[in-house]
Amino acid sequence: MGSRNDLAAATLETLPVTVAVIDDDGEILLTNRAWREFGSDEQSTDHVGVNYVATAVMFEDDDEYARQAVEGLESVLEGEQETFVMEYPCHTPTRRQWFMMRANRFTVDDDVRVSVVHLEITERKLAELAAEESAERMRDEHRALEHVLERIDGLVRDVTDAAVGAGTREEIERRVCSRLAATEPYVLAWVGRVDVTNQRVSPREWASTGDVPLEDGDLVLGTDETHPAVRALEAGEPYVVQDLSSFRDADNWWPVGAESDYQSVAALPLSYGDVTYGVLVLFAADADAFSDRELLVLESLAGTIATAMNAIESRRMLTTESVVELELAIEDSSLFVTALAEALEATVAYRGLAYDDGTPLAFFYVDRTGAVTEPAVELEGVADATTLVTYEDGTLLELELVDSIVTTLVEHGTVVRRFDVTDGIADLALDLANGQSARSVYDLLERHYDRVELISYHESEQPTRTPQDLVATLEQTLTDRQQMALQKAYVADYFEWPRNVSGEELAESMDISRSTFHQHLRTAQRKLLEELYEGDTAIGRHSE
């Protein structure tokens, strides 16, 4: 028995926590080394014989934690509870620290005893406080965000409605500027377009509060580089001046007499994919008006506006009675079509673009035979290359594109008439809805490639019923597989005689059976002929 008691006592001495044992009157009977050495650098004190509870009572009037300790210890001593736990601070002039006190009731030979353990929990407490402070900061940020969102909720809704509900690009610009200028703290909003022929940025629509004027004169890209609108367009990202009074170059473009109304400005490019339709410029009455959160919302609105403009331009291309015919020459080895010609050491001619379950497939004729797929598939942006037809003097390639200027142009409502490469020069012919679309596409190409030369620009009237009308109708009536079968048959000269490719080969390229391919092809041909001979009355009669 003695050896067990000795072992327990020795173990108690080694514990890194302060431990005391008190009797039913609160008097200390035993302490361990950690207790004796705590708080004293010169001598140890065991406190045996000191009434622990009575000592704590002396401080309970001034110390809430002392009062809680007394109440807890008394409840354990009286048998009301077996265990009492509390946490409390115990700071020094040089260090913040916290402890946890744990009291446990037990008996020895029917005598009540209570062990009192003090465990330092400073690291845990500091971590908890840091987490609480972080949580509070997040709550503050959340409340600030809610405030921002509450203020701009109507703005987001109205600007989105204005952009989506407008029938023309001019109407989008006018309604958006009007709505933004009516929202505090903005005092002036304008939308500028770029004329690529003279590289000038011209305000097209604007709105302001009171007598705040619009800026005078056009801005010139590459010259007026201090203006936020120019910087935003050239960098392709928002540009903000939070305090115009400290911006030395503001005098070059600050509207005369309006200094007191302008304190900050933000310019945001209106971009959809790689095409930029212009720039939105907002002036605010307050300095630091464009916080990170506000700017994120404005960027989202700029994207919505550009998307609506793209939809109108694409729709206009299908319905307009006029068309802009643009012919360009591009000299840049990084251009996808030029890189293809150089890799194959051949002349390349564009034959069309189709989509297979959302995957763009481009068709190119090259004036050589043999191993042509291996060099093509190594090009950046080409996921796969397939020989669709082999002729005596050339090959029809089917390229699965990941990212290409061809898909970018088509997705922006542009009709690619010609995209051929000879001797390192790309000959590109496009049909666009209007002059602004032409300028946007020209600007896109000029930003991406070294040398872009405008060969011709011609506006012409289209017949009442255009090829684009037919394409739009067929896209509504044909399934993806039917459209793919028809387009592959056409570009592969399946309708020529003698045929260079069989139905079985085309079916294999679509990973379908020969009979399924012919079913898709016959259905597509019938729908095409119905549209040609019966016009709009045939639309919707067949759903297969």
Number of domains in the chain: 4
Instruction: State residue 503's pLDDT score.
Output: 83
Residue 127 belongs to a domain:
no
> Within this chain, do residues 16 and 90 fall inside the same structural domain, yes or no?
yes
Measured at the CA of 414, the angle between CA 350 and CA 342, to 5 degrees, comes to: 30
The top-scoring range by mean pLDDT among 190-194, 265-269, 493-497, 503-507 is 265-269
Listed residues 318, 348, 382: the one ending a domain: 318
> Within this chain, do residues 89 and 185 fall inside the same structural domain, yes or no?
no
The top-scoring range by mean pLDDT among 205-214, 346-355, 529-538 is 346-355
Instruction: State residue 538's pLDDT score.
Output: 36
> Within this chain, do residues 43 and 76 fall inside the same structural domain, yes or no?
yes
| SS3 labels along 507-541 | HHHCCCCHHHHHHHHHHHHHHHHHHHHHHHHHCCC
User: By the 8 A CB rule, do 26 and 49 touch?
Assistant: no
pLDDT beyond 70 at 223: no
Q: Is 192 helix (H, G, I), strand (E, B) or coil?
A: strand
Beta carbons within 8 Å of 270's beta carbon, 6+ residues apart = 191, 276, 277, 278, 279, 280, 302, 305, 306, 309
Take residue 97 and report the two structure tokens written for it.
């620290």
**What CATH number has the domain bearing residue 106?**
3.30.450.20
Q: What are phi and psi of 377, to 5 degrees?
A: -70, -15
Which of residues 412 and 271 earns the better pLDDT score? 271
- Cis, bond preceding 185 (omega within 30 deg of 0): yes
Range with lowest mean pLDDT among 169-183, 250-264, 471-485:
250-264
Beta carbons within 8 Å of 324's beta carbon, 6+ residues apart = 431, 432, 433, 434, 435, 437, 438, 457, 458, 459
pLDDT beyond 70 at 468: no
Please report which confidence band the pLDDT of residue 13 belongs to, taking 50, 70 and 90 as the band edges.
Answer: confident
d(C-alpha 227, C-alpha 225), whole Å: 6
72-126 pLDDT per residue, tens: 999 999 999 999 999 999 888 888 889 999 999 999 888 999 999 998 888 988 8
Ramachandran bin of 263, using left for φ above 0, alpha for ψ from -120 to 50, beta for the remaining angles: alpha
Edge-to-edge strand list for the sheet holding 200-208? 219-220, 200-208, 186-195, 275-284, 264-272, 239-241
> Within this chain, do residues 441 and 543 fall inside the same structural domain, yes or no?
no
Instruction: State residue 151's pLDDT score.
Output: 62
369-378 pLDDT per residue, tens: 888 889 888 8
> Within this chain, do residues 414 and 497 fall inside the same structural domain, yes or no?
no
Residue 431: closest CA among 411, 413, 453: 413
Domain that holds residue 306: 143-318
Q: What is the chain's mean pLDDT, rounded?
A: 80
d(C-alpha 441, C-alpha 188), whole Å: 29
Take residue 427 and report the two structure tokens written for it.
């000959």
Instruction: State residue 370's pLDDT score.
Output: 84
Beta carbons within 8 Å of 13's beta carbon, 6+ residues apart = 32, 33
